[in-house]
Structure 1
Amino acid sequence: MEGEKSMRKCLIVCSIFLFMLAGCVQPKVIDDINIMSAVGYDSHKGDKVKGTIVIPVYKTDKSISNEQFTAIATQSKAINRKAQQKSADPLENGSIEVVLFGKELAEKGVIEIIDTLERDAKIGSHLLVAVSEGKASSILNKRLGNRGTGTYLNTLLRHNMKTRELPRNNLHLFLFSYYSRVKDPFMPYIELEEDDKVNVKGVALFKDDKVVSYLEEEKMFFFKALMENFRNGSYTFRVEDNFVTLFSLTLNRDYKIKNAMTNPEINIKINLEAHIREFSGDKLDPKMIKKIEKRFSKIVEKSCEEMLYDFIEQEIDPVGIGLLAKTQTRKFDYKKWEEAYPKSKVNITSEVYVSETGIVE
């Protein structure tokens, strides 16, 4: 009996506690709030920032349109507050899928805005961030896709990261690189084309929180090759008088960094397995396949080496060579690495194996 009484008391206390907790949470009806799906920031007159907020509007015929709110403020924190003054319903930012930075603002610096996003507990660290050619508002003012502009941009970027040549990136990874002393951040670089489609134009490279240069589309494959092991992707090149397209590229790479504190030697080995999708020539025999493998190997070595030397000259490290050097060097010293990095020598070796020739054979 005493055990039953104790159990009842425990259940009553728990019920009261849960009831009190439920009373502290404000219920929110989805029809009574505006859910933000995308936000863009652009440089405005003086030191002001213009924010563009996109709200998906779900219609009775199951189609989706967009509603935009804009606000101008000196600090990004005030943009949301000013936008709230224009909205008939509360603006909720917990479902933002992508944040865009206009090119002019990105070249001035984005950390004040990034810091605001980071400190908001409602915003997830896997939020996608990107730099837009021109103004971010020029993209967000368009009706893109059939599931809303925010979802369209999010899907576009994730698709290019998963199956194409865009390296993985999000708010968390950007912040990791920004706060690291041995790696610099980057963001996808997108543009609005004449047919109102958005194209992944390349990659925006940062020094601290400012964009300092851009990698164009044709260099993205080699950038990703230096950044991460991956599967998929494609590349077209010329062998003698023939054009070849390799696809379903499976890539693995291995780094060895010597003398990191004095005269760094960056040794990278890249192994690729690929299929031939297209071949413009008449005959694809074993001899030609060997030529294709050798030619593409040379292209990978030359392109990756030139890219790394370009980064060294700009004194940026988006690949994270310093991070790798830190893991391979005892008593790693940040200051010595910063002094030694501009003197780095790069050696890239590549092995390419064509495993399938498909129907072209």
Structure 2
Amino acid sequence: MSTPTSIIPDAEAAHPEFYEALAAQHVKALWTIPGTLAPEPTLDEVPYVWHARDLWPLLEKAAEFISPDDAERRAFNASNPKRVFGTSHNLVAGYQMVLPGETAPAHRHTPSAIRLMLRGGGITTVEGEPVWMERGDLVLTPPVSWHDHRHPGDEPMIWLDGLDVPFVRGQHAQFAEEYPNEQLQDLTRPQDASVAEYGVGLVPAHSTWTRKHSPLNKYAYSTTRPALLRLWEVEGSPTSGSTLEYVNPLTGGPVIPTISSYLSYIPEGGASKPERHTPSKIFCVLEGGGHSIINGERFDWEENDFFVVPSWHWYQHIADQGDAVLYSLSDWPIYEPFDLVRREVRDEYPQL
């Protein structure tokens, strides 16, 4: 029996004039196009690890001749080896560095972004609210939100950027603008005001928040890490580890309409259950070291590295250098409204 991926072999060679006539009308016969009704996703991206030990020295080198005044952001974008742009088909991630005393000027854009602090401390101002960032903190810069970065500390600060730029570009919806007149936006709210309002499991009575993203600008690692370990203990301390999702405290949904975020713990010697899903994921190592098996291939990682698991790739994480804490971001929310999420989980890694 033929499969949905079948095409008629040599169809164009057998009737060249017919197919030339179609081409002149800018149409193509469906029966000559491979994969249009493929039974599974086409795996056109590859897993890959970006190592901090390789890239952080290059950030330091870049600081010798690139300042925020020159380029607004001293940042690297990680391109999947199979893509011209984008870490996965919907997301891009990379490192950004701000030196002591520097400021990265205010701007806003339709793509959404997350910042996961990896080194040092400093301030990201979001819509007039200064947000203090320390290691492990997750800070949001939702779509069309003014944001700038200020560094009052004494050591370079480095964080992981994660954005939905490839998705937004693909919808022809990318817009951006610089803050008018001034390099930095005016401060209109107290520092970490959104944490005081929404960060303790309670929300202001009669809240008037109406935007689709989370009203909470920062998810502090000092809160999320203990909560993750408590969950792991409550679940019976599974060797496969435990995972929490960062959520909008008003809706229980993703922190940003196009980006979901998670925090996972795997005890040393443990391994997550093998799984695959249609959304892609980008992982960043906050603690420990280990490796992942992605579609049968081993990828080693250590603290501050990040790596991509593309759509529909089997993967499993193994913590073999201390307990591991992994942050991850995903384009999962893009799939959900269209019933395109498909996920499989197994107890043992499948034969590929």
What TM-score do the two structures reach when normalised by structure 1? 0.23
Which structure shows the bigger proportion of residues in helix conformation?
1
TM-score by length of 2: 0.23
Greater Rg over alpha carbons, structure: 1
